[in-house]
Amino acid sequence: MLLISFIRTINQAEQQVVEEYAQTWVRQLAQVHGLWIARFRPEQLEINLYQRDALSGEQKPLEVIRLAMSKAGWPKVASNQQCQDLWRDIVGAELSGQGNDVTAAYKNQQCHYEFLGVAILIYDPQQGLMTKEWL
């Protein structure tokens, strides 16, 4: 019983991490899109996003990033490496999980971020959507 309870707790913690990443992604992507509109829809967007520090609760600036933008105003991607780079730029952290392996793959013109055994987050650069599939 104790082992089953421990495994459930770990799984819930991993799901929470994925959920927080997804929320951060959506929030930051909305900022990117808004700045793209405010700056008159450029092909390249240079921005400095902010992220809330988990310990202090303060907003801290992330490094300046440069994004190639689509005509619809969403960051473009065309390779596994660009998916990894976009994750780092948008989330403000390297792609990693809570003890699980995490991979980024460019499939069907989308970025698939798989938290092995937990979930897959899928970014569609044509529509700027992030969807989540629980495994």
Give residue 61's pLDDT: 82
Q: pTM for this one?
A: 0.86
Give residue 94's pLDDT: 85
How do residues 62-110 score in pLDDT, each as one tens digit? 889 999 999 999 999 999 999 999 999 998 888 875 556 889 999 999 9
Q: Which of 55, 53, 85 is nearest to 68 (CA)?
A: 85
Residue 8 lies in a domain: yes
Of 103 and 59, the one with more pLDDT: 103
Domain of residue 101, residue span? 1-40+71-134
Position 7 pLDDT exceeds 70: no
Of 122 and 17, the one with more pLDDT: 122
Residue 55 lies in a domain: no
How do residues 13-56 score in pLDDT, each as one tens digit? 888 889 999 999 999 999 999 999 999 999 999 998 887 776 77
How big is the CA angle at 11 (ends 18 and 16), to the nearest 5 degrees? 30
Q: How many domains does the chain have?
A: 1
Give residue 120's pLDDT: 96
Residue 117 lies in a domain: yes
Residue 46 lies in a domain: no
Residue 109 lies in a domain: yes
